[in-house]
Structure 1
């Protein structure tokens, strides 16, 4: 993989063996299928922790695995097992958190990443303590703000596999990772993946050979005498029986190597102790040079990304913002409902699901969850907006008041589409602002009392604020609309501002008349096909 630079050293190598699992809740199987393995796994884990007080285990940097497990148990048994988990966590045997689940960091919002760590940290504290180490083992590339987000939660170091790139002659397993805002954390590069020492107990006859070979390889890239072996894999039914192997390794491999079962915080501390001179990697990590980052997933099942964006927008920009405003006015804040909405949405953010490289039944389950989150968010948005409008004095205007809210963090002047209930008997009407100034609008349709129109907010609407408009019945004839001419045979249409022609290939040519600017080949799209899979694009046969 790399050009190995031989170097000799008299300092013994300290081999840190981190025992863990990588729990893909959903991927090539649904959560309903995979979660059936959890009771057996946790029973085996608890037996080992009880039998071996020095045993340490990392629960994949997430707390959802515990939640899924406890939800399958009868209430009394679940309470007893949760007490056991707290005992193991407080003793340092079991490491949980810092996240709720392992997300795709690239396709979800920054707020979603923060909520993932907020909820995961809250749950981990309930179980006893939060593992203060970032666990970015298998997500497909790393965003530039990851150090900034992690540092905000007191996480000073991360373990990362995909996306890292350094020149081959200067690859190191430790580096400083710096975000655009200057936040810097210690990065541990999993040079040969997160499973280089998996199932040692099942391969006992070659376990020492594997430990020695991987340790010698990694020492060549290490900046300190410490090297890291990752003793874990996917949905293994039981934790690896490694303490006897560790003892044997210390007999057979000494004095060149000292092996210990370690933890992520302990490894970070061991590296920091030497204060090594480390390379600095800045910004995002999306290189596929040393590990595939599977960029083809970004166009897989794009409808899932669209639904996710809608849910995030409704929660972040509408429901939470305006429920906060309503709370400031004295209304109750639906904290538990928001947490439930976020937890439901986060279930769709796991790194094998959000990017679409999952099986069809999972994608259908995700759509159901998106629909549920959208419904919850819209209900909470509507409740907050109604509460705010009740506090607005509209007595100075007409009978029908229209309140337009701006969810953005900046002032805006926009054309907005609105639907109103205006009695059918009111044939004509105008719309004015609080000062009586007429506001231009364009009528789209009127069916009975239902009226759809576009309104031009001539005055700026404040950030996270509103403006009130009033519908005024009129008895005069409306002003004539601008003249529009169209010819189906020539495929053209125009008004006083624009001339539009539909070309033979279906594209549009638009000429803006005032400045005589011409825009060609508009609306032209090419579907080139895709003969690949959910991970990779492949050109179809011509």
Structure 2
């Protein structure tokens, strides 16, 4: 017999911002809920506390409608009666980046600070599992505890445990075995209240005994309002519960009486810590990710529901993290105003798409239409900021050619290529050039004068209009004017033509002028090319010579009129290989428009080899099977041959938005309806590419009984482009699918010629080693959800036997599985299955064989069938050793695939930045840079790096921006350790600045702050 059981009851609401209703529909209920809460707080002092779901966006949403209530909210938050934060909103953990989680907490804590003290608890009550690095992220904000429900299995026997991240960082976890609503909607009469309370307490203690004599109950659930009158009921109940004859008992403990009070999660945690210390209790330690579906639905198939959402989220995360933030920082250091408000707004639009009901794709169709709008708004702001910053940085670079190409003097056009990933790196780049002359004989060179692979992809010019002007009228203009300087008559002609033709007064100019024969001898045709004044010009000498030719025409009496035909300057899209790009920086190349064949310098990179069904660079040979369209890849470095790669396999899915469920009698389609059409799309010199086009005849839908696929068929065209580049150790694949089928899952398989027990998958701030298959316990029928072998990833999965390996990289395709046997595979042969589409039409169903009960309401969601055109990008990297080998080749190429370079054309000019420059250089190359940004206090800049290796390394940082001091900072970017490093505020002496050296633990995330 133990002492009295103390219960802390936490009134709260769990607020899914959008789900089976839209955001605006739920907001109406939110306004009602907070209105009621404020009135209760005002009239019932005993209603001491209420928690607003650990997120601050509810305040933002409420105050947009009720701005007059801000001071009342601030009062109760400052008094500690309403608890807010630390999150901006409740995120999904596996489908968003680590930087998104950090921005989420940064935004939430900043918002909370406007109202009062935030709740410093990692409140994550409903996430579909938990990432391994969450303890380190929380501790980075000074948060040393977490509250969890899903993802915890039989390894936890009590309601509290410690959870450890890969670097050894720990937090105390409060486990909610019955979820966040174990005491929701309590009866408000004392007897009924006590009856319900005793039942709840008994269930909790039997299931997961508390480590102390304190128990946490959660009085709330999805979209529930506070219970008015609850304090009075508790007061009356306590008079009866204090009687020793009313005891709480379980199979493990028996207590003499119960006392219950309204309280908070921080109060409960404080009591737990105190009693653990008093009793010297040793809590169980859990390490790594938490993904058990033993007691609660994990809902893993949300990884592939509405795949377009995952692709969009990944694209916008990379845009903000790796382009907007580094480039706006750079432009700020060069003197531009920093667009803090716009950067924050773009992040807010993105974060608002990251709650699990949104990014997981498991809401009604209208919700996800609105997700698309937010993604677009984020992208529009981001791209505009990038464009502005690129121009500022490019204008500040020295772009004078280091040495003229023989016979061409300084007649060259600089092209600056930006690489916001690791380096040095070779990458294909493309840019549109406005120039009057053809580039078919152009040569592109680097700073050493070496020629790089280059080709013109296409030319285009737009006809603006035509106008005939009498020669005498122009001659009179010439007679009254003074044209003693070259170009003066061109300017007058430009104004005359613009006015006569009604061309808008844009900042353009004549960049090319040609005199051509006309239909009759007394006419002359004048072709004029216009271009914006900030773009490339044509040949200036030729332009002035043409001006003199027109002036001479005006003196010839036999010429009656001039026919002016005006065009927009020729746009020529060119593609080239940018070599040796510096990391997180930019490099200049020079384009010479017309070079004689005998003056072309030797090509820097090895040539590509192509045939109608194969392509080859210096690293790989890729051959296409003419019957199946699958690939055979030979790794020239190791001699390994991978056969049967890139086989599409389509199966049925009668599940819902949360859970994959194959029909009882499934049919897999693994061959196209007819042999594919194979085309050599490009034979170099920049890209070697094959196009594989096939028709897949798939069942149109499932049967009416949902136990098999239907009898009707539809054609689904699938086209893949396979590309190799010189100097790039990666095989790129771009696939387009026209989805006309329903109730199915489409995956692409990559078999391996060896067996493995574990697979390496990039996760959040880590690379996670997982077993090939999930453990399947004997009592699986008792589990809330059947364990599955599909797992989450970020940008790559690697399958290695220790000697050789195959990495499959992706852009925004987060679901993978390692399969054994099946279509196209030998018995027991292993292959990686990458999910492209999972198409269903019910938000939730209650008749699935793979899950007990529903996961939400049964709403019809036909757009989740994902009809129409879809595009996917992924790549292959065969390699030696494991994913760690060859200086982190796999990690570097995964970043490169997700961060295509950007190129911009500029003029020759001097500048304060060199022609090749970096924001920062980090080594060893296995380390991953996740952020380069202006610091939150606007006083400096930040570089965040993590170590994905399983051992400690010495990291070296070479800053490329001016700074005199460096600190190790927390995730709020507050300094807590000054480094013994002396930098420089003089940008001209940065090359003499010593590097920073620091040991990084295995799995450690470190934030460096420069001032």
* TM-score w.r.t. length of structure 1: 0.90
Contact 2:124 2:148 in 1 (8 A): yes
For structure 1, the residue ranges without an aligned partner over 5 or more in a row are 1-8, 487-491
Q: CA 1:476–1:463 in structure 2 vs 1: closer, same or farther (change >3 Å)?
A: same
Q: CA 1:12–1:483 in structure 2 vs 1: closer, same or farther (change >3 Å)?
A: closer
2:628 corresponding residue in structure 1? 505
> Residues 469-503 of structure 1: CA distance to partner in whole angstroms, max 9, x if unpaired?
010123324899877543xxxxx456798573433
Q: CA 1:501–1:57 in structure 2 vs 1: closer, same or farther (change >3 Å)?
A: closer
2:125 corresponding residue in structure 1? 137
Cα shift at 1:464: 1.4
Secondary structure, aligned partner of 1:23 = coil
Alignment RMSD (CA, Å): 2.3
Deviates more, 1:45-54 or 1:317-326: 45-54
Secondary structure, aligned partner of 1:503 = coil
2:578 corresponding residue in structure 1? 457
Residue 530 in structure 1 maps to residue 653 in structure 2: yes
2:352 corresponding residue in structure 1? 347
Cα shift at 1:510: 5.2
Quick one: distance in 2 between partners of 1:129 and 1:146?
22
1:315 corresponding residue in structure 2? 320
2:159 corresponding residue in structure 1? 173
> Residues 133-159 of structure 1: CA distance to partner in whole angstroms, max 9, x if unpaired?
111111100111111111111211111
Contact 2:429 2:575 in 1 (8 A): yes
Quick one: distance in 1 between partners of 2:296 and 2:617?
57
Cα shift at 1:521: 1.6
Structure possessing the higher radius of gyration over alpha carbons: 2
2:432 corresponding residue in structure 1? 420
Quick one: distance in 2 between partners of 1:43 and 1:150?
32
Contact 2:104 2:351 in 1 (8 A): yes
Q: CA 1:316–1:494 in structure 2 vs 1: closer, same or farther (change >3 Å)?
A: closer
Secondary structure, aligned partner of 2:119 = coil
For structure 2, the residue ranges without an aligned partner over 5 or more in a row are 245-256, 403-410, 462-569, 664-707, 710-1011
> Residues 242-286 of structure 1: CA distance to partner in whole angstroms, max 9, x if unpaired?
212221221111141111111011000000001232101111111
Quick one: distance in 1 between partners of 2:169 and 2:609?
58
2:169 corresponding residue in structure 1? 183
Contact 1:15 1:215 in 2 (8 A): no
Cα shift at 1:513: 8.6
Secondary structure, aligned partner of 1:319 = helix
Quick one: distance in 2 between partners of 1:292 and 1:306?
25
Cα shift at 1:453: 3.9
Q: CA 1:402–1:262 in structure 2 vs 1: closer, same or farther (change >3 Å)?
A: same
1:468 to 582, 588, 609: 588
Quick one: distance in 2 between partners of 1:244 and 1:511?
76
Contact 1:201 1:241 in 2 (8 A): no
Deviates more, 1:471-480 or 1:107-116: 471-480
Contact 2:220 2:226 in 1 (8 A): no
1:3 corresponding residue in structure 2? none
1:196 corresponding residue in structure 2? 182
1:251 corresponding residue in structure 2? 239
Quick one: distance in 2 between partners of 1:100 and 1:285?
23
Secondary structure, aligned partner of 2:649 = coil
1:62 corresponding residue in structure 2? 55
Quick one: distance in 2 between partners of 1:59 and 1:513?
59
Residue 14 in structure 1 maps to residue 6 in structure 2: yes
Map residues 222-261 of structure 1 onto 2, 5 A cutoff.
Answer: 222-254=210-242, 255=244, 256-261=257-262
Contact 1:212 1:253 in 2 (8 A): no
1:43 corresponding residue in structure 2? 35
More helix by share: 1
Secondary structure, aligned partner of 1:278 = coil
Q: CA 1:248–1:308 in structure 2 vs 1: closer, same or farther (change >3 Å)?
A: same
Q: CA 1:473–1:261 in structure 2 vs 1: closer, same or farther (change >3 Å)?
A: same
Cα shift at 1:400: 1.3
Secondary structure, aligned partner of 2:286 = strand
Contact 1:37 1:237 in 2 (8 A): no
Contact 2:181 2:218 in 1 (8 A): yes
Residue 24 in structure 1 maps to residue 45 in structure 2: no
2:362 corresponding residue in structure 1? 357
Quick one: distance in 2 between partners of 1:32 and 1:129?
28
2:400 corresponding residue in structure 1? 395
Q: CA 1:139–1:512 in structure 2 vs 1: closer, same or farther (change >3 Å)?
A: closer
2:419 to 399, 402, 406: 406
Deviates more, 1:215-224 or 1:190-199: 215-224
Contact 2:154 2:294 in 1 (8 A): no
Residue 100 in structure 1 maps to residue 88 in structure 2: yes
Cα shift at 1:131: 0.8
Q: CA 1:139–1:513 in structure 2 vs 1: closer, same or farther (change >3 Å)?
A: closer
Residue 148 in structure 1 maps to residue 136 in structure 2: yes
Residue 271 in structure 1 maps to residue 259 in structure 2: no
Secondary structure, aligned partner of 1:150 = helix
- Structure number with the bigger relative contact order (C-alpha 8 A, sep ≥ 6) is 1
Quick one: distance in 2 between partners of 1:26 and 1:501?
46
Quick one: distance in 2 between partners of 1:142 and 1:370?
25
Secondary structure, aligned partner of 1:303 = helix
Contact 1:54 1:93 in 2 (8 A): no
Contact 1:53 1:93 in 2 (8 A): no
> Residues 501-523 of structure 1: CA distance to partner in whole angstroms, max 9, x if unpaired?
43312323456799976542233
Deviates more, 1:188-197 or 1:253-262: 253-262
Deviates more, 1:197-206 or 1:300-309: 197-206
Secondary structure, aligned partner of 1:525 = strand
Contact 2:184 2:219 in 1 (8 A): yes
Cα shift at 1:33: 0.7
Secondary structure, aligned partner of 1:421 = strand
Quick one: distance in 1 between partners of 2:214 and 2:32?
34
1:71 to 64, 67, 72: 64
Contact 2:401 2:590 in 1 (8 A): no
Quick one: distance in 1 between partners of 2:95 and 2:296?
19
Cα shift at 1:232: 0.4
Cα shift at 1:314: 0.3
